[in-house]
Structure 1
Amino acid sequence: MIKVFIILITIILSTTINADNKKLPIPRFVSIKSNEVNARSGPTTKSAVEWVFVKKGEPVEITAEYEQWRQVHDINGEGGWIHSSVLSGKRSVVITSDEEIELTKSADPKSRVIAKLMPKVRCGLKKCKEQFCQITCKNYTGWISKKVIWGVYDDNDRY
């Protein structure tokens, strides 16, 4: 019985370690998992807090990794080192235009407008298709050009 328990623990631990070692691309976008997250000057809890993210879902870009730590920055360049446990793969974006932007029903700029979005609004990202992304803001889901959002890349292979 003890042998079976030890084997199960070994399998579980090796699976966890392998999951953590998956190489995801850098840079990449993620979001903040909770309402108060400390960004530190280095990849350790002993490093000074340089910035505090105060909004769950805020999009950030990972630019470096060290063990379980991720170096991130927001749309304004603010950030630091954050433990991976307080980051989420759930994606979000920020409207970067200085003017209202139209959210359309389909990935065609000529399609029906379903909402107008104000500058600096945060929205959930669903998917991207060529130069457009499907986002959700409040109760509206529609399409918007990649050119007016921060939190996605221009290339078509990834978003």
Structure 2
Amino acid sequence: MKREHTNGQRANQAKMRVFLIVLALLAAGQSMALSQELGPVTNLPLPRFVSMKAAEGYARHGPGKTHRIDWVYKQRNQPLEITAEYGHWRRVRDRDGVGGWMHYSLLSGTRTVLVEADLVSLLRIPEEGAQVNAHVEQGVIARLGKCLPDWCRITAGGRSGWVRKTVLWGVAPDELRD
């Protein structure tokens, strides 16, 4: 007697094969991103960090010029996080979690961060007790450079140095950059 699998049985078998492959990879010490959301317009990861290109930008209630303005951002290079995409519009939020929809032409892929602690030391090398190059105050916007698991190199006011990632907003905790 010949039996045919139903679509449900085939789907379950396919899921089981994928599960076993992932399990084998993890057992071998390999990691793999199981689900990373990509923007439907740019095919770039969501969420992701960007900065304000313009000196002033409107964050609207919806994706279009007919929607009301909820916020006006007035700081060039301010870091923002893109959480959604729709046509030429990007839903952004700032460090306080507020924001709205902004036209993509107001945003830049240049990475900046906001210093969230007072008088942060810029260190010569990424290690506690290292020589201090300078200090930056809370609220300073700095250009983001290389990031290691716990440290990032930033530049602000012509001075560069390494800081703990935990004192910065605009970089993901697990983000690595060359």
Instruction: Return the TM-score normalized by structure 1.
Output: 0.82
Q: Does 1:151 align with 2:165?
A: no
Aligned length: 139
Please list every run of at least 4 consecutive aligned residues from structure 1 whose deviation after the TM superposition is greater than 6 angstroms: none
Provide Cα deviations, 1:8-52, integer angstroms capped at 9, x if missing partner. xxxxxxxxxxxx944111011000101111110000111111111
One-letter amino acid matched to 1:125? L
Match of 1:130 among 149, 166, 174: 149
Indicate the residue corresponding to 1:42 in structure 2. 62
Match of 1:108 among 109, 127, 131: 127
Report what 1:119 is aligned to. Answer: 138
Once superposed, what is the RMSD of the aligned Cα atoms? 1.7
User: Hey, which of these two has a bigger chunk of strand by percent?
Assistant: 1
For residues 119 and 85 of structure 1, the distance between their equivalents in structure 2, rounded to whole angstroms, comes to: 28
Secondary structure, aligned partner of 2:139: coil
Change in CA separation of 1:137 and 1:157 when aligned onto 2, cut-off 3 Å: closer
Report the counterpart of residue 73 of structure 1 in structure 2. Answer: 93
Correspondence for 1:54 among 41, 62, 74: 74
* Structure 2 stretches lacking a partner, 5+ long: 1-39
- Partners of 1:157 and 1:149 in 2: how far apart? 14
What's 1:23 paired with? 43
8 Å CA contact retained: 1:34, 1:86: yes
**Could you say which structure has the larger radius of gyration?**
2
> Identity rate of aligned residues, in percent?
40
Cα deviation for residue 78 of structure 1 reads 2.5
TM-score by length of 2: 0.74
Structure 1 residues not aligned, in runs of 5+:
1-19
